[in-house]
């Protein structure tokens, strides 16, 4: 029988805190069918030995040791993916979260079958920031306000690292999460396409017991990435925005080459337009393969095949591009406008067809062939 609740605790250099947090969970979760998974990023402080000892002794304790990887959110995702429970609870190892609230959060799912998320909050009811330094309180409040301004989640404490969610919500959102940084709750909420039923549970934040905070500039930057990704993603698909940016860089390169070849070099307009189009085409392929379609990035033989297919697809787009640019230039339209319009028309064709053929159909056809072998 799978446990009803898996408590996921991401750890990095928390050797002293691990047995303490486990003792606290044992004290409050006795009545539930539960297990705990510590997801440790190969801490160099002896955490692995402590975890191994606990796992050998106690059947409700598991540990995942991630080698060569870092990240709180990614660690939590891995912990959830390793579990067959119906509910996942996430909390820190450093005893800052009040575990005595956890049973109430779990009970809420029994009481309310449609509940998606139970969130521990420091910013409503009798919740509070405890003895956190003024500086840390300010950072947390500014980050919370930024989220409120840009994304407006219905939570009073969207930065909370203390929450319980239903498995179904994890399954619905896991492929859309950024999986970066500390803000796993925000990542889940912003990756959901429906309105979530949530309930908040105020608690007083405590000071860290042992060890040091892992919050640093990189974590701050990862938080900004999450906000931008999710804000932009609500207006236009991120992939399309990236494709347009890659296209704009190709357009700049194209115009630069036109300036050099046609204006300065004295090459006939059509010849210069052909050369600039070819170079911009290759540059666009490289950027899109590395950035826009990085999840389906083509490598080795598939890369060569993809580039060939891309060039063939773009050749048709290039003919339309050159013809329209030449037509406009003949009509007395300024060279730069005629050239840019031709390139734009070609770009729309390239996006539509290459997305389908080069980065969707080609990789899936080659991978299914290699499976058949």
Nearer to Mg ion by C-beta: 121 or 173? 121
CB 245 within 8 Å of CB 237 = no
Q: Which DSSP string corresponds to 307-329?
A: HHHHHHHHHHHHHHHHHHHHHHH
Nearer to ligand GTP by C-beta: 140 or 273? 140
Q: Which of 62, 122, 214, 230 binds ligand GTP (CB under 6 A)?
A: 214
Residue 14 binds to ligand GTP (criterion: CB under 6 A): yes
Residues 6+ apart with CB under 8 A from 24: 95, 99
Contacting Mg ion within 184-203 (CB under 5 A): none
Residue 96 binds to Mg ion (criterion: CB under 5 A): yes
Residue 99 binds to Mg ion (criterion: CB under 5 A): no
Q: Cβ-closest residue to Mg ion?
A: 94
3-state class of 91 per DSSP? coil
Distance CA 60, CA 83 (A): 12
Nearer to Mg ion by C-beta: 21 or 85? 21
Q: Which of 14, 35, 40, 94 binds Mg ion (CB under 5 A)?
A: 94
Contact string 41-80 vs ligand GTP (x = CB under 6 A): x----------------------------xxx--x-----
Residues 6+ apart with CB under 8 A from 11: 17, 18, 38, 39, 40, 41, 43, 47, 93
Distance of CA 183 to the CA centre of its chain: 10
Q: Which of ligand GTP, Mg ion, none is residue 12 near (CB under 5 to 8 Å by kind)?
A: ligand GTP
Q: Which residues are paired to 202 by β-bridges?
A: 121
Distance CA 123, CA 128 (A): 6
Residues 6+ apart with CB under 8 A from 193: 172
Q: Which of ligand GTP, Mg ion, none is residue 77 near (CB under 5 to 8 Å by kind)?
A: none
Q: Cβ-closest residue to ligand GTP?
A: 213
Q: Which span (34-42, 104-112, 273-281, 320-328) binds ligand GTP, by CB under 6 A?
A: 34-42
Q: Which DSSP string corresponds to 117-132?
A: EEEEESSSTT-B-TT-
Distance CA 337, CA 339 (A): 5
Q: How far is the CB of 248 from Mg ion (least distance, A)?
A: 41
Nearer to Mg ion by C-beta: 94 or 98? 94
Q: Which of ligand GTP, Mg ion, none is residue 148 near (CB under 5 to 8 Å by kind)?
A: none
Q: Which of ligand GTP, Mg ion, none is residue 200 near (CB under 5 to 8 Å by kind)?
A: none
Q: Which of 7, 8, 10, 258 binds ligand GTP (CB under 6 A)?
A: 10
Distance CA 65, CA 52 (A): 10
Q: How many CA atoms lie within 13 A of 41 on its CB side?
A: 14
Q: How far is the CB of 107 from ligand GTP (least distance, A)?
A: 24
Contacting ligand GTP within 140-179 (CB under 6 A): 161
Number of residues forming the site for ligand GTP (CB under 6 A): 21
Q: How far is the CB of 140 from ligand GTP (least distance, A)?
A: 8
Strands (E), 168-250: 198-202
Q: How far is the CB of 182 from ligand GTP (least distance, A)?
A: 6
Distance CA 354, CA 342 (A): 18
Output the CA–CA distances (angstroms, integers) from residue 74 to 66, 71, 137, 177, 178, in the order listed: 10, 5, 25, 10, 9
Q: Which of ligand GTP, Mg ion, none is residue 11 near (CB under 5 to 8 Å by kind)?
A: ligand GTP
Q: How far is the CB of 161 from ligand GTP (least distance, A)?
A: 6
Q: Which residues bind Mg ion (CB under 5 A)?
A: 92, 94, 96
- Interacting residue ranges for ligand GTP, rule: CB under 6 A: 10-12, 14, 39-41, 70-72, 75, 92-94, 96, 161, 182, 208, 213-215
């Amino acid at each position: 029988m799978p446990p009803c609740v898996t408590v996921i605790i991401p750890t990095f250099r928390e050797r002293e805190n691990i047995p303490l947090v486990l003792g606290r969970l044992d004290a409050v979760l006795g009545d539930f069918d539960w297990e705990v998974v510590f997801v440790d990023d190969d801490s160099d402080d002896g955490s692995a030995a402590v975890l191994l000892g606990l796992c050998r002794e106690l059947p409700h304790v598991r540990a995942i040791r991630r080698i060569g990887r870092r990240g709180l959110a990614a660690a939590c995702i891995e912990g959830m993916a390793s579990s067959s429970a119906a509910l996942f609870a996430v909390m820190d190892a450093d005893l800052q979260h009040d575990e005595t609230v956890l049973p109430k959060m779990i009970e809420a799912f029994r009481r309310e079958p449609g509940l998606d998320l139970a969130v521990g909050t420091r910013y409503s009811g009798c919740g509070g920031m405890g003895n956190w330094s003024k500086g840390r309180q300010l950072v947390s409040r500014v980050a919370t306000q930024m989220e409120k301004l840009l994304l407006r989640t219905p939570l009073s404490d969207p930065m909370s690292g203390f929450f319980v969610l239903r498995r179904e919500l994890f399954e619905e959102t896991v492929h859309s999460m950024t999986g970066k940084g500390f803000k796993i709750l925000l990542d889940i909420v912003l990756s959901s396409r429906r309105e979530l039923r949530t309930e908040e549970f105020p608690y007083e934040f405590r000071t860290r017991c042992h060890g040091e905070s892992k919050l640093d500039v990189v974590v701050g930057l990862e938080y900004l990435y999450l906000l931008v990704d999710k804000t932009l993603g609500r207006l236009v698909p991120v992939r399309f925005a990236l494709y347009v940016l890659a296209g704009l860089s190709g357009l700049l390169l194209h115009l630069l080459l036109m300036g050099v070849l046609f204006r300065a070099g004295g090459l006939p307009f059509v010849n210069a337009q052909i050369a600039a189009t070819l170079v911009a085409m290759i540059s666009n392929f490289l950027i899109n393969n590395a950035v826009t379609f990085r999840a389906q990035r083509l490598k080795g033989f598939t890369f060569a095949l993809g580039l060939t297919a891309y060039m063939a697809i773009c050749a048709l787009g290039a003919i339309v591009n050159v013809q329209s640019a030449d037509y406009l230039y003949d009509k007395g339209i300024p060279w730069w406008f005629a050239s840019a319009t031709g390139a734009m028309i070609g770009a729309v064709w390239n996006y539509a067809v290459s997305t389908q053929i080069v980065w969707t159909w080609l990789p899936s056809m080659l991978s299914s062939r290699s499976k058949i072998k």
